[in-house]
Each structure stands twice: as C-alpha cells, then as structure tokens.
Amino acid sequence: MNEVTNISEWFSWFFSFENIKHIFTYNEGEPMIFTQFFFWGFFAVVLLIYSIIHKKRGLRNAYLFLVSLFFYYKTSGLFISILLFSTFSDYIIGWLIYSSKKKLYKRIFVATSVFINLFVLCYFKYAYFFTDSFNEFFHTNYEVFNHFAHFTNEYADTHFTVNKILLPVGISFYTFQTISYAVDIYREEVKPVKSILDFGFYVSFFPQLVAGPIVRAADFIPQLYKPYNLSKYNFGLALFWILKGLIKKVIIGDYIAVNFIDRIFDNPMMFTGFENLMALYGYSLQVYADFSGYTDMAIGIALLMGFTLPKNFNSPYKAKNVGEFWKRWHISLSTWLKDYLYIPLGGNRGGSIGTWIALVFIIAFIVMLSGKMIVLYSFIWVGLLFTFLAIWVKSFRAWLTTNINLLITMLLGGLWHGASWQFVIWGGLNGLGLVVYKLWRKISPYEKYDNFLAIVVKVFVTFNFITFTRIWFRGESMESTGQILTQIGSNFNLSLIPEILSSYSNVFIMMLIGYIIHWLPSNVKDWYRETFIKLPLIVKILVATITVFAVYQAMSSELQAFIYFQF
C-alpha cells in the first residue's frame, strides 16, 4: 500500500502544472545543453518517436525540424523568432536565385541574402560597439535600444528590458549556414529544397545548431532525402563520439577551468608568473576539450539519427606550422572562410574589389575601436606608403598581392568572434603567423627535415605560438592581458614552483593526461576507437554506464556553458 502511495505521489509531482510548465517553457537560468540530464531525457524521447516515423522521409524531416525548434527555444527563448526569420527569408531567396534567368538578378538576390544575414548578425553582435564608437567620435550620449525586445513586449505580452541587447545563442553558426545555402545555389552546387520544412530542418538541426560544426548546404541537404540507416558499426561509433565528448568537456575541460584557469584569468595579479603561464597552457587544453567535446557529441547524436556531420577537429596541437594548425582547428569555420571569403576575394592571386571593401571595413572597425582620428590618419599614411612600395618595388608588390587576402581573412575571422581589441590582435597575430611561416619555409634549411626530432621542434614552436595568442582570446580585457604578460615577464618566482605544483597537483596531472591523450599517435587512437566499436553490446552499455557515472561525479555544482556559445 505504501509503495502504491509513493508511486502516486511521484506521478502527482511529475505531472504537476509547475513541472510541466518548467519542461515546456524557457528558463533563462537553465538553458538546455548537452551536459544536462534534461537534454538526454529530451533526446531519448526524440529517438523513441523517431524510431516509429523514420521511414516516412517528409514526416521525419518535419518532426526533426519541430524538435530542433523546441531545443532552440529551451536554449534561447524568444530568439527562436530570429532563427525562423533567417529560415523563411533564405528559403524564399534561394528559390529566387534558382529561378532567375539573368546572372545580374542572381547576383542581386545572393547579395540580398548576404546583406540580410550579416545585418541581423551585426545588430545583435556589434550594436554596443557601434553605439559606443559613435558616442566617442561625435560626443553624443545615445543608448542601445533593443527593437526586438520592444516588438515582443508589444505583441507577445513579454517584459524584456529594451535597453539591453543579448546575443542569440548560435546566431554566428546558423547565419553562416544560410549564407552558404544561397551561395551554393548561385554556384549551382545544390538545388533549393522544395519544402520549407526540409530547409528549416537543415538550418536548425539541433545537435550542431548552437556551436557547429558549420554544415554546408551542398554536403547536408542531399542527406535529407536518403533513407534512414544505422549500422551496428555506426551505432558503436556514435556512442564512442558521445562518450568521448562528455569526457573531454566535463572531466578535462570543466575540471581544470573551475579549479585553476578561471581563478587566474579573473585576477592575474594575485598569482605568480608561473601560475599565469600554466593557466595559458591550461586554457589551450580547455578550449580544445570544451569545443571539440561539443562537436564530438554533436557528431555522435546526429549519427544516431542517420546524419553525418563534418569533422571539426583533427588533433590541432600536432600541427607543425600555423597553416597546418588552421587546417586542423575548427575545420568547418576555416574551410568556410576559405571558400566563401578568401577565394572570392582573390585568394593568393591578388586583390579585388571585394578586397578593398573588406579592407575599408576592417580599418573602419579598428578606427572606431580606438575612438581616435589619429588612428585613421595613421592608416592613410601607411596605405600611401604601401602603395608607393607596391608601385616601385616588384618583390614587395608580389608579397602584398599574395598575402593581403590572407591577412584580411584572419582579421575578419577575429572580428567574427567579437568586436574588441583582443580579437583584432588575436586574428592579426594568427594572420602574421601564417605570412611569416610562408616566408620562413622558403629560406629555412630545416623545412625539408621530417624526422622525429624535427617534428617535435616544429610542433613545440607552433603550439607555443598558438598558446601565446590565446592571451588575447581569453583575457577579460586589454588591461588583464597586459597584467598576464607582466606577471609572466617580471614575477616568475622559481622558488615557489614546487609549492604551486603541489597545491594544484590534481589540476596539473589532469592537464598532463589531456595533452598525452591529444598527442597519442593516430594509429593508437584508431585502435581504441575500433576496439570499443567491436565490443559486444552489453559491454558497450556497461562502459557507457561507468563513463556517465564518472562524468557526473566529476561535474561541478554549476553546469559550465560551452565556450563557443558566446560566439
């Protein structure tokens, strides 16, 4: 009788109005992310229904579109309307591009798609930057006004603050996807989808919606029309990716962040130069474990539903030079920038009209960041000097022609992450790193060597350069990045190192384990992946259970958002 009563109370609690409301409404303090128990409950329900309807392609795609919208609503609330706007506008524009007979009309429509998407992105991402810069230049006192919040307050009876603009989660990622759709149709690499529900599914597919990988229309849309297929091998592979991602994110990334990295970066002057340096190395591991952990889980979740997402990371800290690093790190963004920005600008063939438009845009950004006209005058003088050198010095003209689009692409890649001096410097340093390496490999007597020692030296130099640039990527402000550099350069107390190593021994051991795993040979990684896939089902379930238990035992009291959610 008591057991019956307990069951009755449980059902009463579960189906209470407040709990049902909590399940189906957005809670700003609890966005749905992969490391929540709620997400895995949601995914279990999605899979259960999906297993019933997966043979009916149209219904399957419509269903996944709707559950993806629910996922995004639970992640970002009414920002779902921005996602729907991008979906509807680019669906219509895609058909206009495809049905237009004249090349001029096609170009106008694809330019319209790019303009609309970038305008929406810039409004939410750079409104504060433009407002502050305008006030600085013209000595005004304008404040940011959130027209989107005002509209929803008027027509949806909400109570959003209108003097604050929040960045919709994932807007940078799905904006690039919709742009690629319009451009791919223009290039005749893909035909527009007939159903807006199919297109909505492509734009909003929930595993990769909020932090990538960025999916190309030409790669993903053909999968919409293929029958569902999940082999025994792919099931094992999907489970492997999910467990691997959880371990990376929670056990490695979150642990070293909460227990060491965040403390240092929050107040670098309270810690020694050695602690600041180790925090930098720790952050290089954390940002990799966090971001690649997310995409590993996204790839595994998508694979369980029969869809293949592109690989986004390939052991980037094994790179032997900066160019190779960017072929291994955030591959979907790097290749997107190459195919939709670098090559259209002219690649290494030289500048184009687009090059000069992009250059003016970057200069305007930097001038507004500085808030000083002297910076604009400096750019004008540097531009005149470069023009003179390009006219009279043939070797300099060849260098400028070959590298200007590369530098522009890396600077725009930096600004994609945010409008601040840190991201300008970070993007600029990586661009310079690429240019310097291109010059170095022409004169280096060591470039031809590919033995173990040479590889170790090349990887060491590249890894340390990338880690150095991360000072500006992670720093809270220009002041804090300066403090980190100061502490490393002038407060490196060697006598305290043994005590520091002892105090943070668990953190440093976890960092060491993380880097050792990362630098394992590819054949070793292939071996343990294939070994897991070939395990009997019952053993897979046992390994998964133990892993999940370990992950949630290691989880901090407050869930750590994925780093790339802020972009």
Q: Which two tokens stand for residue 220?
A: 């993903």
Cα-based distances in Å from 56 to 42, 60, 205: 22, 6, 18
Q: Which two tokens stand for residue 142?
A: 């304008």
Q: What's the CA gap between 154 and 157, in Å, rounded?
A: 6
Asked whether residue 162 carries a pLDDT value surpassing 70, the answer given is: no
Q: What percent of the chain has pLDDT over 90?
A: 27
| Cβ(182)–Cβ(340) below 8 Å | no
Going by C-alpha positions, the residue among 317, 337, 287, 249 that lies closest to residue 551 is 249
Mean pLDDT score, 456-481: 89
Q: Report the length, in residues, of the chain.
A: 567
Task: Identify whether 150 is a catalytic site residue.
Answer: no
Going by C-alpha positions, the residue among 86, 331, 116 that lies closest to residue 216 is 331
Asked whether residue 384 carries a pLDDT value surpassing 80, the answer given is: yes
Selected catalytic residue, list 22, 139, 159, 417: 417
Helix axes 196-204, 57-76, angle to 10 degrees: 50
Q: Which two tokens stand for residue 79?
A: 């920002």
Cα-based distances in Å from 557 to 4, 219, 258, 553: 33, 39, 10, 10
Going by C-alpha positions, the residue among 413, 200, 227, 257 that lies closest to residue 325 is 413
Asked whether residue 372 carries a pLDDT value surpassing 80, the answer given is: no
- Going by C-beta distance under 8 Å and a sequence separation of 6 or more, which residues neighbour residue 268? 276, 279, 480, 483, 484, 487
Q: Which two tokens stand for residue 252?
A: 């490695």
Q: What is the pLDDT of residue 165?
A: 61
Q: What's the CA gap between 278 and 270, in Å, rounded?
A: 14
Of residues 32 and 184, more confidently modeled:
184
Worst-scoring range by mean pLDDT, 16-25, 276-285, 517-526?
A: 16-25
User: What pLDDT, in 10s, does the model give residues 517-563?
Assistant: 999 999 999 999 999 999 998 999 898 888 888 887 777 656 566 66
Q: Identify the band that residue 147 occupies on the pLDDT scale cut at 50, 70 and 90.
A: low
Q: Identify the band that residue 1 occupies on the pLDDT scale cut at 50, 70 and 90.
A: very low
Output the CA angle 88-342-222, nearest 5 degrees.
45
Going by C-alpha positions, the residue among 273, 275, 276, 239 that lies closest to residue 543 is 239
Q: What's the CA gap between 204 and 174, in Å, rounded?
A: 7
The two counts, helices (H) then strands (E), for the chain are: 27, 0
Q: Which two tokens stand for residue 254?
A: 């979150």
Q: Which two tokens stand for residue 216?
A: 């190309």
